[in-house]
Structure 1
Amino acid sequence: MATDTGTAAAETGGALRGRDFRLLWTAESISKTGSAVTTFALPLVALQTLGASTFMMGVLNAMVWLPWLVVGLQAGAWADRRCRRPLMIVCQLASAVLIVSVPLLAWLDALSMQYVLVIAFAVGCANVLFTAAYNAYVPFLVGRGELLGANTRLMGSEQAANIAGPGIGGLITQLSSAVVGLFIDAFSFLASAVCLWSIRAREPALPPARPDRPPSTFRADIRSAAAFVARDPYLRILTASTACTNLLMGGIQALVVVFLIQEAGLNAWAVGATTITISVGGLLGAAVAAKVSARLGSARTLLTAPITDCFQLLFPLAARGPLLVLALAGTLVWATGVVVRNVTSGAFRQAYCPPGMRGRVAMTMRFVSFGVWPLGSLLGGVLGTVIDVRTALFLLMIANVVTDVLLFIGPLKRHRELPAEPVL
């Protein structure tokens, strides 16, 4: 049986300073930097190279998130049945091959909108499976007491990568084209796979099936995780709240590029500046998440959503000059609050869930919360077509603030701290 070196490191309290966690951290940072370039470049390829309409931009954004609805639950069950590190490596290699095909076809003048949609969906499927394995793998490398610190570092580097990515994408777009930026993402997936392959810690072999008990089926595994989330008062309300938010954010994200370039009359640099501002806010949020959680309490930290989400309403005011600065300032505050809450809730879920269900529980929650994102993207595309894009953004962002009331329905409002173990 393989040795559980990651757990041993965690028990000594040195996992966050160890070689294996640094490799995981590096793999995530490299991959996220490349992905940030793609987030910037792929919509521009569709808009500038292929002349995509507002509705097709919504469809493209929907295809990125549709895999959460199609394979999310299965990915969680698979991640709980397999060693996670090899699974993550395969996902990174597959993503590299898929992404690099887009610039190759563009240079051959054979790229179509239909192919871009297929690639967006396929890469999304690889990302879903990677995320399922990743969420279950982090608690293996670090101890329960270090999960908040681990998530703070991982979330912080992700936001830092998002700062660099759009800047790189914007520079490449100005010097060459958005298509070229996709090569950087393909290379980043390869580099990430190398880092993951270099991790020495090996997960313990899965226990053999007991002869007196039939092996559990995928369907039974999925059903047990779904029942756990549905019964638990904390996970249930967090899932419902995040689902409502993501439904609206899907519509908002689908309209941002169209709004800035076509409605506000700005250029590609404004798109990059917006993404960088969101990432800076995310970096600040990751940096202060532990302090905010300690000061307010982990439960009360999640209840700050209505306050910071109000600042998002400044974004549709964006125009040339000072209004763009005001819009970006509001976006900065909003993004900071989002990441503070994401770090807090992510560490809570990883420590709270039974070890054998971490992958399935994480993906059950994401199946619901991310599965609605394609619907939101289509909603945004329809609203942006029926009414003007600026008004559509205002309506979606106001609705986002209103849905934050869901957090006050459950037990969060009665406690300062989130529980360490399931209450069932």
Structure 2
Amino acid sequence: MAANTATAGTTTGSGVRGRDFRLLWTAESISKTGSAVTTFALPLVALRTLGANTLMMGVLNAMIWLPWLLGGLQAGAWADRHRLRPLMIGCQLASAILLVSVPILAWLDALTMGYLLAIAFATGCSNVVFTAAYHAFVPFLVGKSDLLAANTRLTGTEQAANIAGPGLGGAITQLSSAVLGLFADAVSFLVAAACLRSIRAREPAPGQDERPDQPRTTIRADIRAAIGFVARDPYLRVITATSASTNLLMAGIQALVVVFLVRDAGLSPWAVGATTITISAGGLLGAVLAPKVAGRLGTARTLLTAPVTDCFLLLFPLAGGGAPLVLALAGTLVWATGIVVRNVTQGAFRQAYCPPGMRGRVAMTMRFITFGVWPLGSLLGGALGTVVDVRTALFLLTAANVVTDILVFIGPMKHGRDLPAEPGAQPGDGSRPVTRK
């Protein structure tokens, strides 16, 4: 594999206090806030401007995630062979151009559902490539010693952006229109690109640090090695299967949320924004609580809490005006908190557990599977919402999510308090927590 500096371990030495990391942090915060606005505004554009039906809402959500299925595996290996900063800048600029075209066509009364689906797919492709490059670029800037601190800051601001974005999107929609929210997102991508361009650190050419006699492997071989590692490992295999089943059902739920709250429950766009804000608030709370929960219960046992917290999502289909909405949001908050606690625990485990030379590819392989099922889940939700009423469809999907949580008990996590620190090791008793590097 071509060893890009960002993946080889060479860093700029600036750390989390350096100017370059602050610029990356700023770019990520601005871009994530804009993306959260788009997640809120794009379905509303389809629903209110184009009059999309339930099935088309499912198709739209599927198009956003389809790139993970088609190119998730290739993106990780491909990013290792290119300079990461220019690649990220290019993705930000492409997303800005794509999104700004939607409000322009809407104002010209030329926007169609087919074009909106194409934009959703194209911006999804840009996001996949950006994610692959972004995860490899962070170690290049900060190094291993500051990697945990850097990811903590980046994750925290991402959750904060997810809270601010829907609220901003709801305000823009209420005061003007959803298409204006997409224009704001396009501007955010341009600002993020400017921040990335201002980073002074420059990566050497990909492959510069390879030995002359070292054979260059193919992208296909790199992908096969990562797939084999995930498929053979009992921990990563079960974590991937559990996450994939959860995302399959969550995609179906997400495809129906806007239709359910606006059409069936008769709520305003503020309710849609409140739901997304609640999920993001739960995510922020989960990021804060994850180390404490894993320390008290153990990292392995933390993953076994899935059926308990997922039960609270059964309250969401009860949403309506007044108290039912409050009850639904409270259940959603508990569910979102549990999801992020487990995701943070799984992420820390994967980083410590995987061989250093495979971390990027293993991460993208697992994302390919867990995000690749999202389009299928979106279509499932859209189809189910046409066969039965939307509220019943949500009850079925949330109940199925609790049932599929039993997959985690099939793996070896149930045999120990903590997850092992390296492949081949036995589950720990708490003496070797995986969060320690």
TM-score by length of 2: 0.91
Partner of 1:107: 107
User: What are the equivalent positions in structure 2 for 1:87-106 lying under 5 Å apart?
Assistant: 87-106=87-106
Shift in Å, 1:175: 1.3
Shift in Å, 1:121: 0.1
Contact 2:248 2:374 in 1 (8 A): yes
Q: 1:26 to 1:299 in 2, by over 3 A?
A: farther
Shift in Å, 1:20: 2.6
Partner of 1:331: 332
User: What are the equivalent positions in structure 2 for 1:359-398 lying under 5 Å apart?
Assistant: 359-398=360-399
Shift in Å, 1:193: 1.4
Contact 1:99 1:182 in 2 (8 A): yes
Partner of 2:135: 135
Shift in Å, 1:418: 2.7
SS of 1:199's partner is coil
Give distance in 1, aligned partners of 2:344 and 2:18.
21
Give distance in 1, aligned partners of 2:371 and 2:131.
12
**Bigger shift: residues 393-402 or 139-148:** 139-148
Contact 1:135 1:358 in 2 (8 A): no
Structure 2: stretches of 5+ with no match in the other structure = 426-437
SS of 1:111's partner is coil
Contact 2:4 2:206 in 1 (8 A): no
Q: 1:303 to 1:77 in 2, by over 3 A?
A: same
* Code of the aligned partner of 2:107: W
Q: 1:2 to 1:50 in 2, by over 3 A?
A: closer
**Bigger shift: residues 223-232 or 380-389:** 223-232
Structure 1: stretches of 5+ with no match in the other structure = none
Contact 1:50 1:113 in 2 (8 A): yes
* Code of the aligned partner of 1:131: T
Partner of 1:63: 63
Partner of 1:73: 73
Partner of 2:307: 306
Partner of 2:237: 236
Contact 2:5 2:140 in 1 (8 A): no
* Code of the aligned partner of 1:410: G
Contact 2:353 2:420 in 1 (8 A): yes
SS of 2:283's partner is helix
Q: 1:135 to 1:352 in 2, by over 3 A?
A: farther
Contact 1:148 1:344 in 2 (8 A): no
Partner of 1:262: 263
Partner of 2:435: none
Partner of 2:82: 82
Contact 2:12 2:201 in 1 (8 A): no
* Code of the aligned partner of 1:226: I
Shift in Å, 1:273: 0.7
* Code of the aligned partner of 2:420: P
Contact 1:136 1:358 in 2 (8 A): no
Structure 1 residue 169 and structure 2 residue 173: aligned?
no
**Bigger shift: residues 144-153 or 59-68:** 144-153
Partner of 1:187: 187
Partner of 1:126: 126
Identity score, percent: 77
Contact 1:151 1:343 in 2 (8 A): no
Shift in Å, 1:8: 5.2
User: What are the equivalent positions in structure 2 for 1:282-321 lying under 5 Å apart?
Assistant: 282-321=283-322
Contact 2:303 2:342 in 1 (8 A): yes
Give distance in 2, aligned partners of 1:342 and 1:145.
22
Shift in Å, 1:279: 0.9
* Code of the aligned partner of 2:375: P
Q: 1:83 to 1:353 in 2, by over 3 A?
A: farther
**Bigger shift: residues 124-133 or 358-367:** 358-367
**Bigger shift: residues 193-202 or 370-379:** 193-202
Give distance in 2, aligned partners of 1:122 and 1:93.
12
Partner of 2:412: 411
**Bigger shift: residues 98-107 or 301-310:** 301-310
SS of 1:375's partner is helix
Give distance in 1, aligned partners of 2:20 and 2:295.
28
Give distance in 2, aligned partners of 1:145 and 1:303.
30
Give distance in 2, aligned partners of 1:330 and 1:9.
44
User: What are the equivalent positions in structure 2 for 1:31-42 lying under 5 Å apart?
Assistant: 31-42=31-42
**Bigger shift: residues 344-353 or 225-234:** 344-353
* Code of the aligned partner of 2:58: G
SS of 1:15's partner is coil
Give distance in 1, aligned partners of 2:282 and 2:116.
30
SS of 2:16's partner is helix
